Structure 1
Amino acid sequence: SSMFSRLLIASDITSSTFAVINCISDLKAFGARECLLLGCITLYPYSHLPEISVQTLMERSLEEQQELLEKEGFKVSSRCVVGVPENIINRIAEEEDFSAIVVGSFTRTWAGEALLGGLASDIIHTASKPVLLVRLETQKVSGEGERPASEVTAVSCDFSNHILFPTDFSQNADYAFSYVKQLVEAGVRKVTLMHVQDKYRIEPFLLDRLDEFNRIDESRLQQMKGILTSLRDVVVDIRIAYGSPAAEILKLIRDTEASLTVMGSQGRGFARDMFLGNVSHTIARRSPSSVFLIPEPKEHINV
């Protein structure tokens, strides 16, 4: 089955979820067929409302969302649950074997923390299934009367335009590459393969070997490029950067206007090497566009 055939969509009653749903139909090209809308009620943001009315609001919202997805041809079910959202979402994703979790998220600046954004990052920290973070933005639209209204939309739903794949050549990154291959087979037009020489690991003692590292890594990326171009006629760029991995990846996302960044994301649970985990979580928070994070399946991890 495809990487998106069964999606678990983290839903709430804000316009953010509707923005995510508008994007989901674009995933049909990648094999998306079935969705579960999971409405999670955490009581703290609504503590001033009686619990029953929150539940009613959520159920109404889920019905509306379900209708929109059914119009797009999806097989849809919805569920309303009360509790800690990231725990419930990750547990259901695993127990019922969903292909991926989909959640909307605003770019987080250092200071501003959005509610849904917080949920996205909580999900990532514990997810054992791939997580598609649909990047959202707020746009001002001219509203009636005094107050300008704002509208939440996805930054871009065209995930097949240009994919960035940063790799540290770890086992987790290799596993994530299998998703890049599927995306290419499904029609992605351009892929940039990237490796960052982490200057904090190289300076000062390994600087004299940097050229050698670059040569080795260039040939690894060329091999990966060969694999992708043998699958389909796809444009593949190769980039090797030097510096802080997160900063260099973010810079390249901006410079190339990549519509989707695909990365391995080792969660905190098995922190043998915190490097990739931390970097992918930083990208998830700060990337201007959508991010698809792939944890290594549990059976791969030799504890």
Structure 2
Amino acid sequence: MPQHILVPLDGSAHGFAGLEYSLASFPDASVTALTVVDPTRDHTAAVGASESPQERAENRGEEILERAAERAADHDREIRTLLRTGRPHTEILAVVTDDDIDHVVMGSHGESPITSPFLGHVSETVIRRAPVSATIVPELAAALHERDLPGDLLIPVDGSEQAEAALAYALETFPDGSHTAIHVLELPFDQSAAVEGTDLDEIRAAAEDRAEEILA
């Protein structure tokens, strides 16, 4: 069960949905909301503006984190907030390592006036590079509120250690959910082809036997 969750926020509705999911799904975990600003990509600058790009970016970041704290208060929770400057995926991964994060929750994509939309390609990078488990939330908060979490969980398995770890994580973290393990046969020929009595039939039978072993 995750103990310290990191939720990157960029001000988008999808980002805040990730926060809502974390608060609802992990009631006993500590939560850190992170906003990353990059003043070099500020597209809201105006001629004669009194604020520097750095100040403007930081102010907007603080506004996002204040909203995050308010969302947490609605759940009777307190969260830690963190503002950093740099490239989003680099800073997210650095916080994971530096702050002993054991799970990351992100919205599937986002849109922010601070830099440019970063949830999306950044979430993919974090999933690939983070040394901890991660959850990507594709729904908005309103949709999350309409269903009971964790609900039905689908766990693809292929016999690898990573797949076994994912299955173990799902069972341990969401014991009250409905779990379905699925293994997909990938055959080197069209499944609709007539293969009975041929070498391809043996290949299919071997693949099916392997699938039964994985799902057993």
TM-score higher than 0.5? yes
Partner of 1:27: 25
CA distance in 1: counterparts of 2:141 and 2:41, whole angstroms: 22
Match of 1:211 in 2: 205
- Bigger mean CA deviation after superposition, 166-175 or 208-217: 208-217
Residue deviations 1:87-141, cap 9 Å, x none?
Answer: 111121122221211110149xxxxxx64222211222321111110113xxxxx
Cα distance change of structure 1 residues 179 and 78 upon mapping to structure 2, 3 Å threshold: same
Indicate the residue corresponding to 1:194 in structure 2: 182
Q: Is the alpha carbon distance of 1:48 and 1:64 closer, same or farther for their aligned partners in structure 2, counting shifts above 3 Å?
A: closer
Q: Verify the 8 A CA contact 1:40 1:80 in the aligned structure 2.
A: yes
Q: Partner amino acid for 2:54?
A: E
Alignment: residue pair count? 196
Corresponding residue for 1:168? Answer: 158
Change (3 A) 1:207 1:162: same
For residues 39 and 134 of structure 1, the distance between their equivalents in structure 2, rounded to whole angstroms, comes to: 17
Q: CA deviation at 1:60?
A: 1.7
Paired with 2:162 and 2:189, the residues of 1 have a C-alpha distance of 20
Structure having greater relative contact order (Cα 8 Å, sep ≥ 6): 2
Rounded Cα–Cα distance in structure 2 between residues aligned with 1:36 and 1:75 = 10
TM-score using structure 1 length: 0.57
CA offsets per residue over residues 133-160 of structure 1, 9 Å max, x none? 0113xxxxxxxxxxxxxxx546546442
Query: 1:218 is aligned with what amino acid?
Result: E
* Other structure's SS at 1:191 match: strand
Alignment-mate amino acid for residue 214 of structure 2: R
Q: TM-score normalised to the size of structure 2?
A: 0.78
CA distance in 2, matches of 1:133, 1:44: 27
Relative to 1, partners in 2 of residues 1:27 and 1:81: Cα closer, same or farther, differing over 3 Å?
A: same
Q: Deviation digits for residues 23-68 of structure 1, max 9, x if unmatched? A: 233213xx54211111101335424432311210110220121122
Q: Does the CA contact (< 8 Å) of 2:93 and 2:130 recur in 1?
A: yes
Deviation of the 1:216 alpha carbon: 3.5
Per the alignment, do residues 76 and 184 of structure 1 end up closer, same or farther by CA in structure 2, a change over 3 Å counting?
closer
| Contact 1:9/1:102, CA 8 A, preserved across alignment | yes
Separation in 1 of the partners of 2:159 and 2:62?
Answer: 44
Contact 1:33 1:74 in 2 (8 A): no
Instruction: Report the secondary structure of 2:184's partner residue.
Output: strand
Alignment root-mean-square deviation, CA = 2.8
Q: Which residue of 1 aligns with 2:92?
A: 89
2:20 aligned with 1:17: no
What residue in structure 2 maps to residue 257 of structure 1? none
- The 8 Å contact of residues 43 and 51 in structure 1, kept in 2 or not, is answered as yes
Matching residue of 1:282: none
**Residue in 1 that maps onto 2:81:** 78
Runs (5+) with no aligned partner, structure 1:
108-113, 137-151, 223-303
Opposite residue 179 of structure 2, the aligned amino acid is V
